[in-house]
């Protein structure tokens, strides 16, 4: 699902994503680099190359709870069985490998931050983005991507993502949203329950009828949408 209108419908109707076997083509990336990316990495690369994003050498914050667990599991099994692994395979098994491939292809030396905060990934990504903007970055690219866990790990996780996805947001200083923390949170004040999936952040951004997004289970940290009369930036 790559068309903007389908994403808008998904956000309004709160339908789950449909499981699919398609792999992002990433036609804009040189083949020698593209072939090193697996399905999750390709999905993230596809959104980084999206014309609507129009990447302009901003810092990248790459967010994924578990990354490519299938690739990492194969890496670990090979290490256990043979005592050594391919240096090339190791280089693409680390958490920041996907944005690294993108910047190599772009011949860009932008900063990359990789995050793996389990149930509060949206909050961690937003906080890091705001910190970098406060430190002088005009804008940053915030990338979220997930895929279903490999079966070996799935038994240990209660809220695994049922389907793979990737999306990117450009974060800049403005008046559209506000990140707040309530010292004494009141759960009744939020219109939607907390959802650890980063997709809740995308749905909130797309559905302008939503005013509050809880970012933690305690609902102390929240993302607020500004009223229309507050203006946009």
pLDDT in tens, 126-156: 999 999 999 999 999 999 999 999 888 988 8
pLDDT in tens, 53-111: 999 999 999 999 999 888 888 888 988 999 888 888 788 888 899 999 999 999 999 99
pLDDT at residue 192, rounded to an integer: 75
pLDDT at residue 155, rounded to an integer: 86
Provide the whole-model pTM. 0.90
**Banded pLDDT at 232 (limits 50, 70, 90):** very low
pLDDT in tens, 194-218: 999 999 999 999 998 899 999 998 8
228 pLDDT higher than 60:
no
Contact 146, 165 (CB under 8 A): yes
Q: Regarding beta strands 139-146 and 60-63, do their DSSP bridges make them parallel or antiparallel, or are they unpaired?
A: parallel
With pLDDT > 70 as the criterion, what percentage of the chain qualifies?
94
Token duo for residue 64: 């994924």
pLDDT at residue 182, rounded to an integer: 86
The pLDDT mean for the chain works out to 89
3-state class (DSSP) for residue 228: helix
With pLDDT > 90 as the criterion, what percentage of the chain qualifies?
59
Contact 121, 115 (CB under 8 A): yes
Supply the DSSP symbol for 2: -
Q: How many Å apart are CA 11 and CA 15, to the nearest integer? A: 7
pLDDT at residue 233, rounded to an integer: 39
Q: How many Å apart are CA 153 and CA 85, to the nearest integer? A: 21
Query: What are the structural domains, with CATH classification, of the chain?
Result: 4-173 (3.40.47.10)
**Banded pLDDT at 193 (limits 50, 70, 90):** confident
pLDDT at residue 190, rounded to an integer: 58
pLDDT in tens, 42-53: 999 999 999 999
In sequence order, the 6+-apart residues with CB closer than 8 A to the CB of 211 are 191, 224, 225
pLDDT at residue 230, rounded to an integer: 43
């Amino acid at each position: 699902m790559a068309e903007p209108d389908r994403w808008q419908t998904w956000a309004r109707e709160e339908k789950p994503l449909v499981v699919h076997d398609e792999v992002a083509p990433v036609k804009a990336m040189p083949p020698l680099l593209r072939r090193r990316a697996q399905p999750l990495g390709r999905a993230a690369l596809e959104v980084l190359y999206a014309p609507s994003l129009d990447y302009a050498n901003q810092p990248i914050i790459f967010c994924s709870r578990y990354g490519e667990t299938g690739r990492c599991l194969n890496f670990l099994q090979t290490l256990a069985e043979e005592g050594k692994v391919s240096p090339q395979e190791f280089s693409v098994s680390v958490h920041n490998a996907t944005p690294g491939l993108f910047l190599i292809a772009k011949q860009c030396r932008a900063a990359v931050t990789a995050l793996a905060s389990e149930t509060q990934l949206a909050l961690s990504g937003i906080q890091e983005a705001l910190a970098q903007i406060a430190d002088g970055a005009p804008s940053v690219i915030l990338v979220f991507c997930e895929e279903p866990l490999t079966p070996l790990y799935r038994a240990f996780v209660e809220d695994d993502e049922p389907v793979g996805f990737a999306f990117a947001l450009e974060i800049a200083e403005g008046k559209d949203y506000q990140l707040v923390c309530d010292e004494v949170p009141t759960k009744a004040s939020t219109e939607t329950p907390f959802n650890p999936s980063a997709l809740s952040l995308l749905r909130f951004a797309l559905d302008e009828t939503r005013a509050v997004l809880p970012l933690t289970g305690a609902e102390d940290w929240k993302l607020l949408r500004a009223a229309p009369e507050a203006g946009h930036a």
